Each structure stands twice: as structure tokens, then as C-alpha cells.
Structure 1
Amino acid sequence: MRTRWRARHVLAHQDGGHVLLRDGELVWEDDVIVYVGPRYDGPVDEDRDLGESLVLPGLIDLDALTDIDHLVLDSWSTPERGRGLQWSQDYFSNRRHDVFTPEERATVREYALVQLALHGITTYMPIASEVHSAWAEPYDELVTMAETSRRLGLRGYLGPAYRSGVNVALADGGRGVDFDEERGRAGLRDAVRFLDHLDALDDPLLTGVLLPCRIETLTEELLRATAATALDRDVLVRLHAMQGATERDLVRRTYGMTPLELLDHTGLLDTRLLIPHTSVVDRHPDVYGEDRGDLSRLARAGVSVVHCPQTSLRYGSVLHSFGAYRQAGVNLCLGTDSFPPDLVRGMDVGVHLAKVVDGRMDAAPAEHYVEAATLGGSRALGRDDLGRIEPGAQADLVAFDIGDFRDGVQDDPVRTFLLNGTARQATDSVVAGRPVLVDRGIPGVDLDDLHKRAQLLFERMREAYGERDELRRDADELFPPTFPPYRAQA
């Protein structure tokens, strides 16, 4: 079956890079693009004129939130409540439990995957909080999530997250990690079992990967076992590391080395490793404030840095800097990491943060961020058929409406869209040639009903913070309103 899209602007791929095609047409047969250009004269089975739209390669989100939003709760803080967001040691030892049932977790996953699709993401690698789980992510939950992903038609790189330790709030107000090594070993066994499950499914849209949690929550044994498994099974590993001063202090206290040195020491730098954030390296002002070789070490190892500019900003962090990582040869790709899963807003934030960090208006032009969201993601995944619109590539595409009066006047369509737009302007997407987003909706999904169910689950998650708090404060104490409530007058 041959399908054609026509649009005012198409970000095509030519001579090894993205190019802008005005009044463009693209045609795909089954799952592969067969034509990109100004006019296609051959027969098609389905024809779609998208009008004043910008068609991009499907966006690749390699730290994609597949959970209920928690940033709305934990992206602001006060000294009094900060440790209430972590497990207490008493909760770890005596009272930990799952906040949601398996059926409710399935609803959470569906809600999150639908959000990704609505924001124009076609390829994702999931991230979810383990705070409201009894430990990490069970095998059965990922099996169910894989089926939801297949039903929606997204391209997923999946695996259950696992860990051998949990960040806890200490009685003295500090932070530590409490360990249960056997739970870590069991998590890796389940991760390998899930790799076998996806191999048996043989679905080209689902690929198994290893997704251990934060580096400070893994013992040296589990890090080494992860590296060995990745090499033996030839699968990708994604591990959150170098993302904060607390993590760096915990790792140095435990192992006497930095997180980057620990990755090298355990063999993980020899894998095709993806590291979200990776901001606290030697260049960071809280470390040395100068380049002492960390970036070249990452580049030589072939590490991909999953940059999440919007989430980093909301937690008071920034990359030092996008241009420096790129110049060092580090592959940069993008993630959202939190709600909203809006890579368009993320790219815009990244462009402007880079100006502040480097003190130059040209520190990170818009096109470099678009490349990270497309070609950088394809490089990280080892897929030269993703992230580009050219004959022979997979038909993973997304169209954004840029003709609304509120979008303002237009100069360059990409630069103007990043500056004035949002991923909520996505109208249509296809993955492997099959429709996912159609006229701003997801076929077969009742968005109103899903929204109501997700709100109820969020409220339960919010209440559960009080169970874990060492001081047993309830959610209203931990999360007071921005302003006092209105009082009725007598």
C-alpha cells in the first residue's frame, strides 16, 4: 500500500544532513519511505494534504516518562519537606509496598504512552519512578506495557528497571542508600527473561534493552553483571549517572572513585551505553569547572548522552555545555524524563540555556537540537533508518500544525516553531507506516475516560508520600498549595 503526505514544509534528509523542502511530498510503501521531493506523479492508495504543517522525522525520546507525573510535586522544595520525598529507612525495612495494583499500573502505562503519542514521539525508551513501587519494575508489568505499546503502534526499547539499593532519607537529615543485593540479582534475571520474551514476540517495533536504575543504587556486582549481559546479548544499556552532586558524593563514599570511573571499572563503558543527564563531569562548576578529559573519555567509549534540558532546568541543573559536549564528539540525543513529554519545548529551553552557559547567542543553534532529537537518537540506537526522511528510511513521521494565528509570523519554519510552538501542535504521526496519531487523536482511546482514571491514581500516589516520610507528615503538609485557600465570608 502506498501513502502520500503533502505539506507546506518537510524536513527531508539529503547528502547526509537535514534539508528543508517547501511544498513537499513524501510517499511510503508499507513501512519504508520510497519518495521525498516536490512532486510525486505515481499512483497512491491513500493521499493526505496536511496543509500548513511542518513534517519532521518521528521524534526519538530516550528518557521518556511512562508514569504519572511527579515533577509537579518534586520540582520545587523547601528545607522542611525535602527529605519527605525519599523513602525513610523505617519504610525501607518494615513497610514498603506497591501503591498501585498491577491493573492500575497498566492504566498508568497506557496514560503515559498515549501522552507520548499525542506529543509527536514515535520512538521511546521508558523511565518511571520506583518511589511508589515496593522495589523496582516487575517482569509482568513490562509484559503488559509491551502489549499496550503494540496496540498503540509506538516503537519502544523496553526492559524492566532493576536495582540493588534504594535512596533513603537518614535520621540526621542526610541521604544514603540501603541495599538488598538479592533483589538486584532477581531484577537482572527478570530483565534477561524479558529480553527472551521480546525475542519470542519478534515484533520489529519492540526491542529489548537493559535499564538499570541510578548508578548509586547498583552494587559493583550488579554493574559488572549488567555489562557482561549486555555484551553477551548484544543489547543497549541505559543507566542514569553523573546527574547530581549527591550521587557523586554517594559513589565516591562507597567506591572511592567518581561515577565515570566506576562505569569504566565495571566494564559498562565497553557497552553501547546511554547515560541520561551526564551533567556533573569535570567541566561542571561544582567539580573542577574545567575540562580534564571526561568528555573525551565519553566520546572515545561511544557513550550517548541523553540530554533532558527542560527537566534539568526544573530541577536547577544545566549541561556545561551542549556545544562543548558536541565539539568533543559526544553523541547527544534527547529525552523528556518528566511531564509534559514535550521535546519541542525541551529543544527551545536547551537552545536558550546554552546561550546563558556559554555566554554566546550562537552557542547551540536550533538545528543542532533538532538533530539531537532525530539523528542523535538514531545513532544512540544504532539505527540509520530512523531519524531521517529519505528513501529507504522507516516511515516514522510526525506532522505539526504551524498555521495557527497564535503561532505568529514565520521566518524559518523550524526555528520559528521551536521558539513559538509546542509539541501539542502535533496532528498526525505514523510509525513504520502505520497511523498512531490521527487528527490530534489516538484511534480507539477514550481520552476523557483515561484522563479521569489517571487523576484518581495521581491523587493516590500523592497521598502515599506521607506513608514513606520519616516524620509521617501527610500529603497536604508535604505539598501545600501555592496560595492559601479562599475563606468564605460570614
Structure 2
Amino acid sequence: MRTRWRARHVLAHQDGGHALLRDGEVVWEDDVIVYVGPRFDGPVDVDRDLGDTLVMPGLIDLDALTDIDHLVIDSWHSPDHGRGLQWSQDYFDHRRRDVFTPEERATVREYALAQLALHGITTYMPIASEVHSSWAEPYDELVAMAETSRRIGLRGYLGPAYRSGVNVATADGGRDVAFREELGRAGLAHAVRFLDHLAKLDDPLLTGVLLPCRIETLSTELLRATAETARSRDVLVRLHALQGTTEREITQRRHGMTPLQLIEESGLFETRLLIPHSVVIDRHPTLFGEDRGDLDTLVRSGASVIHCPQTSMRYGEALHSFRAYREAGVNLCLGTDSFPPDLIRGMDAGVHLAKIVDGRLDAAPVEQYVEAATLGGARALGRSDLGRLEPGAQADLVAFDLGDIRDGVLDDPVRTFLLNGTARQATQSVVAGRPVLVDRELPGVDLAGLQKEAQRLFDTMRAAYAERDLLGRDPDTLFPPTFPPFRDRS
């Protein structure tokens, strides 16, 4: 079947890069784009005039939240607040449990995947908190998630997260990692089993990857085993690392080397590696504040950095700097990592954070962030057929409405949209030529029911922090309101 979209603005691909096409048309047949230009003269089966919209390549989110929002309660700190977000040693030793049932976790996943689709994301690699599980992500949960992803129609790079240790709060207010190595080995075995499961499904929209957790929660043995598995199976690896000074301190204390050195020593640089955040390297102001070779190490490794500007900003961090990483030759792609999964807001935050970090207005032009959200993500995945609108590419597209008076006047459509807009303006999307978002709705998905159930599950999740808290505080003490409640004195 041949489909045509017509729109006021199209972010087409030409001469190796994106190009703005006014009053353009995109035509695809089955799952492949066959035409991008001003006028298509051939016959079509479905013809849609989207009017005052911006049609872009589908957004690629490689650290995509597939959980219920927790940043809303943990992105601020007060005395002792941080310790309440980690497991206590007693909880680790004697009381750890799954906060949600398998059925509830399936609902959480559906809610989160619906959010991705509603925000114009077409390709994702999931991230979820393991704090609320008895250990990490079980095989059966990812099998169910894969089916939900297929039903909604997104392009997913999936695997169960695994770890051999978990962050715990210490009595002195610090952090350490408590280990159960046998659980790490079992987790990797589940991940390999899931690779086999997706291979049997043979669905072009689902690709198996290895998703070990944070580097400080992985033993040297598990890191090396991950690298060996990735090489033998030729699969991508994503490892959260270089996130903060606590991670660096724990890694140096336990292994006698920095996180970057540990990645290299484990053999992971010999894989197709993606590293979310990658903020704390020698350029970071809390370390040396200058380049002492870490950027060159990243470039030589060929690893991609998944930059999550909105989440970094909310936790008081920034990349030092987007411009420096890009000019050094690091492949930068983007992730949301938290709620809302809004890469438009994320790109806007990144552009302005970069100005502050580098002290110059041209530190990270808008177009470079758009490239990271499309072409950079495609490079990280090894997919030259994603992240671009040109003949031969996969028909992964998203349309954003630019006709609302609240968006203000229009100059350059991309720059104006990123400055004044939000991904909630997504109206249509297709993945591999199949409709996913249709007139701001997800066909077959009960959004109202998901919203109601997600609130109930969030309340359950919030209450469970009290079980894990080192000091035994209740949730309202851990997470007090912004203002005291009103008291009726009548």
C-alpha cells in the first residue's frame, strides 16, 4: 500500500544531512520511503494533508523511561532525603520484595510505552528503576513487554536489565553496593534466553540487546561475561556509567580504577557500546576541569554517548560539554531517562545548558540536537535506514502540529518548535509504514484506564519507600509537600 503525507514543513534528508522542505510530501510504500520532495505525481492509496505541521524522522530515544515517574519525588534533596531513596542493608538482607505483581508491572509497561508513542518517539531502548523489584528485571516481564510493544507498534531494542549488586544506604549517610554474584549470573542467563526468544519471534521491530545496570552494581566477572556474550552474539550493549562522583568513588574503592578504565579493562570497548550520561570524565569540574585523555578514549572506543539533558538538569548536572564531545568525534544520541519522555523539551534544555556550560550562545545549535535525536541514534544502533526521510529509508515518521497560537509566531520551523513547543504537539506517527499515533490517539489503547491505574500504582510505589528507608521514615516525611496543607480554622 502506498501512503502520502503532505505538510507545510518537512525535515527531509539530502546530501548527507537534514534539509528543510516547505510544502513537501513524503510517500512510502509498505515500510519503505519511496519519495520525499515538493510533488509526487504517482497514484497513492492513502492521502493525508496534515496542514500546518512539521514532519520529521521518528524520534529515537535510547534511554527511554518504561516505568512510572519517580523523578517527581526524587529530583530534589533535603537533609537525609537521599538516603531514603536507596535500600537499607537490612532490607537487602532480609526483606526485599517485588512491590508490583507481574500483572501490575505489565500495566506499568503499557502505560510507559503509550507515553513514548504519544510524545512522538518511534524507536526506543527501555530504562526502568530496579529499586521496586526484589532484584532486577525477570525474563517473563520482558516477554510480556515485547508483546505490548508489538501491539502498540513501536520499534524496540529490548532486554532484561541485570546486575550483581545494588546500591544501599550506609549508617553514616554514605553509599555502598551490596552484592549477590549468583543473581548477576542468573540475570545474564535470562538476558541471553531473551535474545533467543526475540530471534524466534523474528519481528523486524524488535531487536535483542544486553542491558546491564549501572556500572558500580556490576562485578568485574559480570562485566567481562557481558562483553564476551556481546561479541559472540554481535549485539549492542548499553551500560549506565560515568554518571556521578559517588559511582566513581565506589568503583575506585572496589576496583582500584576509574569507571572508564574499568569499562576498557572488561573488554566492553570491543563491543558495540552505548553509555548513557557519560558526564563525569576528566573534563568535569568536580574532577580536573580539563581534558586529560578521557574524550579521546571514548572516541577511540567507538562508543556512543546517550545524552539525557533534561534529566541531567533536573538532578543538577550538565554535559561538559556537548560541543566538546561533538568536536572530539564522540557520537552523541539522546535519551529521556525520566518523565515526561519529551525529547523536544529535552533538546531545548540541552541547547540552553550548553550555552551556560560553554559561556557562548553558539555552543550547541538546535540543529545539532535534532541530529543527535535522529541521525546520532541511528548511528548508535548501526541503522543507516533510520533517522532520516529519504527514499530507501524506513518509513518512521512523526508529525507535530505548529498551528496553535500558544506557539507564537514562526521563524525557522525547527528552531521555533524547539524553543516554544513540546512533544505533546505530536499528532501522527508511523513506524515501518504502519500507523501508531493517529490524530493524537493510540488506536486500541485505553488511555483513560491506563491513567487511572498508573496513579494507583504510583501511590503503591511511593508508599514502598518507607519499607526500604534506613531511618524508618514514612512517605510523607520522605516526600513532604511543597507547602503545608491548608487548615480550616472556621
Q: How does 1:13-32 map to 2 (within 5 A)?
A: 13-32=13-32
Question: TM-score scaled to structure 1, two decimals?
Answer: 1.00
Which residue does the alignment assign to 1:334?
A: 334
Identity value in percent: 80
> Aligned letter for 1:114?
A
> Aligned letter for 2:20?
L
Question: TM-score scaled to structure 2, two decimals?
Answer: 1.00
Per-residue Cα deviation, 1:231-279 (whole angstroms, up to 9, x for no partner):
0000000000000000000000001100000000010011110000000
> Is this contact kept in 1: 2:429–2:435, CA < 8 A?
yes
Which residue does the alignment assign to 1:176?
A: 176
Q: Distance in 2 between matches of 1:461 and 1:154?
A: 27
Which residue does the alignment assign to 2:95?
A: 95
Q: Distance in 2 between matches of 1:266 and 1:24?
A: 49
Structure 1 residue runs without a partner (length 5+): none
Which residue does the alignment assign to 2:348?
A: 348
Which residue does the alignment assign to 2:128?
A: 128
SS in 2 for 1:482: coil
- C-alpha RMSD over aligned residues: 0.4
TM-aligned CA deviation for residue 82 of structure 1 = 1.6
Which residue does the alignment assign to 1:72?
A: 72
Q: Distance in 2 between matches of 1:218 and 1:361?
A: 40
> Is this contact kept in 1: 2:80–2:173, CA < 8 A?
no
> Aligned letter for 2:7?
A
The answer as to 2:260 corresponding to 1:294 is no
TM-aligned CA deviation for residue 171 of structure 1 = 1.3
Which residue does the alignment assign to 1:224?
A: 224
SS in 1 for 2:406: helix
Q: Distance in 2 between matches of 1:198 and 1:100?
A: 25
Q: Distance in 2 between matches of 1:233 and 1:272?
A: 11
SS in 2 for 1:51: coil
SS in 2 for 1:26: strand
Q: How does 1:279-318 map to 2 (within 5 A)?
A: 279-318=279-318
TM-aligned CA deviation for residue 489 of structure 1 = 1.9
> Aligned letter for 2:187?
G
TM-aligned CA deviation for residue 400 of structure 1 = 0.1
The answer as to 2:155 corresponding to 1:186 is no
Aligned length in residues:
490
Which residue does the alignment assign to 1:468?
A: 468
Q: How does 1:40-439 map to 2 (within 5 A)?
A: 40-439=40-439
SS in 2 for 1:248: helix
Give the 4+ runs in structure 1 shifted more than 2 A.
none
Q: Distance in 2 between matches of 1:459 and 1:354?
A: 36
> Aligned letter for 2:337?
D
Q: Distance in 2 between matches of 1:341 and 1:402?
A: 20
Q: Distance in 2 between matches of 1:155 and 1:3?
A: 20
TM-aligned CA deviation for residue 229 of structure 1 = 0.1
Q: Distance in 2 between matches of 1:391 and 1:377?
A: 19
Q: Distance in 1 between matches of 2:286 and 2:482?
A: 31
> Aligned letter for 1:260?
L
Per-residue Cα deviation, 1:204-224 (whole angstroms, up to 9, x for no partner):
000000000000000000000
> Aligned letter for 2:81?
R
TM-aligned CA deviation for residue 172 of structure 1 = 1.5
TM-aligned CA deviation for residue 446 of structure 1 = 1.4
Which residue does the alignment assign to 2:38?
A: 38
SS in 1 for 2:375: helix
Per-residue Cα deviation, 1:386-437 (whole angstroms, up to 9, x for no partner):
0000000000000000111111001000000000000000000000000000
> Aligned letter for 1:20?
L
Q: Distance in 2 between matches of 1:283 and 1:173?
A: 28
Q: Distance in 1 between matches of 2:97 and 2:80?
A: 25
> Aligned letter for 1:138?
P
SS in 2 for 1:428: strand
Per-residue Cα deviation, 1:361-408 (whole angstroms, up to 9, x for no partner):
000000000000000000000000000000000000000001111110
TM-aligned CA deviation for residue 80 of structure 1 = 2.6
> Aligned letter for 2:283?
R
Per-residue Cα deviation, 1:326-385 (whole angstroms, up to 9, x for no partner):
000000000000000000000000000000100110000000000000000000000000
> Aligned letter for 2:62?
L
SS in 2 for 1:9: strand
> Aligned letter for 1:362?
D
Q: How does 1:446-465 map to 2 (within 5 A)?
A: 446-465=446-465
> Is this contact kept in 1: 2:427–2:437, CA < 8 A?
yes
> Aligned letter for 1:397?
L
> Is this contact kept in 1: 2:84–2:469, CA < 8 A?
yes
Q: Distance in 2 between matches of 1:296 and 1:347?
A: 25
Larger deviation: 75-84 or 345-354?
Answer: 75-84
Q: Distance in 1 between matches of 2:154 and 2:435?
A: 10
Per-residue Cα deviation, 1:122-165 (whole angstroms, up to 9, x for no partner):
00000000000000000000000000000000000000000000
SS in 1 for 2:488: coil
Larger deviation: 72-81 or 37-46?
Answer: 72-81
Q: Distance in 1 between matches of 2:166 and 2:176?
A: 8
Structure 2 residue runs without a partner (length 5+): none
Q: Distance in 1 between matches of 2:19 and 2:357?
A: 28
SS in 1 for 2:341: coil
Q: Distance in 1 between matches of 2:471 and 2:294?
A: 40
Which residue does the alignment assign to 1:489?
A: 489
SS in 1 for 2:103: helix
Q: Distance in 1 between matches of 2:31 and 2:205?
A: 11
Q: Distance in 1 between matches of 2:440 and 2:250?
A: 45
Q: Distance in 1 between matches of 2:457 and 2:306?
A: 29
TM-aligned CA deviation for residue 296 of structure 1 = 1.1
Per-residue Cα deviation, 1:425-478 (whole angstroms, up to 9, x for no partner):
000000000000000010011111110000000000000000000111110110
> Aligned letter for 1:329?
G
Q: Distance in 1 between matches of 2:282 and 2:86?
A: 28
> Is this contact kept in 1: 2:31–2:395, CA < 8 A?
yes
Q: Distance in 2 between matches of 1:172 and 1:332?
A: 38
